[in-house]
Amino acid sequence: MPLYDAEYLPLSYLSQIGYCPRRVGLLLNERIWLESADTAKGRKEHENVHTQRIERRGSQIKLFEYAVFSDTLGISGKCDLIEAQKEPSGCRIPAAEFPVILYPVEFKHGKLRDEQEYKIQLCAQAVCLEEMYHTTIPEGAIFYISSHRRQPVEFNEPLRRLVCETAKELHRIRDTLSIPTADYSEKCRRCSLLEYCMPSIKQSAHAYCEQLTAEAQEVEML
Ligand code: SF4
């Protein structure tokens, strides 16, 4: 049963929301995009690695830049790579003339590291594929381009629950057109929206308003 009728939101924002909910609010509701050295590098590395294509080698098919969607989560996007391996008990996909099991792989720039938001994004891709092809996908991997290393990710129940909760939060931000308040942290220094967001100033403004409210309440009580 679809949870969302109105709008399919970008699947990749499930990763962004883990990075910072305010960033998602700015991207989704104010349509802000500012390039930074990090985002430019990431985009370039992605472009160098692949374009939309299908590679066939015996019983394995590699699908690059594969479009996916989920009615349940109300999201759509692309998988960087899906490895489809021939398997009699597998599912049917349009690109293969035999049944296959599916293994999504998400490419990330930089060195191997443990980022929960990447796992959420990858698991959401698996949920999309499961819905589209009526199958079950127990595992995928994140491939770190600079270190050429794969990090396997198990799609267990806690991670799947997190995917649903994150998708709900993404839709809430969109439906209410909200821009979550800034929470200044280490991440802000690497965030491409830092100049627009001005998290430290907004935080002081917020503190100032809270102080004014407190003072007004004190006056009322006199
Ligand atoms: S600058 Fe900080 S608070 Fe603002 S969007 Fe970026 S990460 Fe979020």
Q: Tens digits of per-residue pLDDT, 76-91?
A: 999 999 999 999 999 9
- Assess whether 21 and 120 both reside in one domain: yes
- Assess whether 187 and 173 both reside in one domain: no
Ligand 1 site, residue 20, Cβ cutoff 6 A: yes
What single-letter DSSP state applies at residue 146? Answer: T
- Assess whether 173 and 190 both reside in one domain: no
Give the global pTM.
0.84
Cα–Cα dist 94/221, whole Å = 71
- Assess whether 112 and 204 both reside in one domain: no
Please report the atom of ligand 1 found closest to the CA of residue 183: 3
Angle, CA of 51, 153 and 19, to the nearest 5°:
75
Residue 49: pLDDT above 80? no
- Assess whether 139 and 216 both reside in one domain: no
**Ligand 1 centroid from CA 35, angstroms:** 14
pLDDT digits (tens, 9 = 90+) for 145-196: 888 999 999 999 999 999 999 999 999 999 999 999 998 999 999 898 998 8
Q: Which of 39, 191, 204 gets mutated to test ligand 1 (max ligand atoms within 8 A of its CB)? A: 191
91, part of any domain: yes
Please report the atom of ligand 1 found closest to the CA of residue 20: 8
Residue 93: pLDDT above 80? yes
Q: How many domains does the chain have?
A: 2
Cα–Cα dist 85/199, whole Å = 47
- Assess whether 135 and 85 both reside in one domain: yes
Residue 46: pLDDT above 60? yes
**Ligand 1 centroid from CA 189, angstroms:** 8
- Assess whether 172 and 205 both reside in one domain: no
Closest C-alpha among 69, 70, 71, 97 to residue 84: 97
Establish how many alpha carbons lie within 13 A of residue 42's alpha carbon, considering only the half-sphere containing its beta carbon. 15
- Assess whether 155 and 200 both reside in one domain: no
3, part of any domain: no
Which DSSP helix (H) or strand (E) runs through 179? none
Residues 6+ apart with CB under 8 A from 145: 45, 49, 107, 108, 109, 110
- Assess whether 46 and 92 both reside in one domain: yes
**Ligand 1 centroid from CA 86, angstroms:** 44
**Ligand 1 centroid from CA 170, angstroms:** 16
2, part of any domain: no
Q: Which of 20, 26, 183, 185 gets mutated to test ligand 1 (max ligand atoms within 8 A of its CB)? A: 20
38, part of any domain: yes
159, part of any domain: yes
29, part of any domain: yes
**Mean residue pLDDT across the chain:** 89
Residue nearest to atom 3 of ligand 1 (CA): 182
**Ligand 1 centroid from CA 187, angstroms:** 7
Domain that holds residue 70: 9-180
- Assess whether 213 and 116 both reside in one domain: no
Residues 6+ apart with CB under 8 A from 35: 192
Which DSSP helix (H) or strand (E) runs through 35? none
The CATH number for 83's domain is 3.90.320.10
Is 75 in a helix, a strand, or coil?
strand
Q: How many CB atoms lie within 10 A of CB 134?
A: 9
4, part of any domain: no
* Rg of the chain taking only CA atoms, in angstroms: 21
What single-letter DSSP state applies at residue 97? Answer: S
Residues 6+ apart with CB under 8 A from 106: 79, 80, 81, 118, 121, 122, 125, 140, 141, 142, 143
Please report the atom of ligand 1 found closest to the CA of residue 26: 5
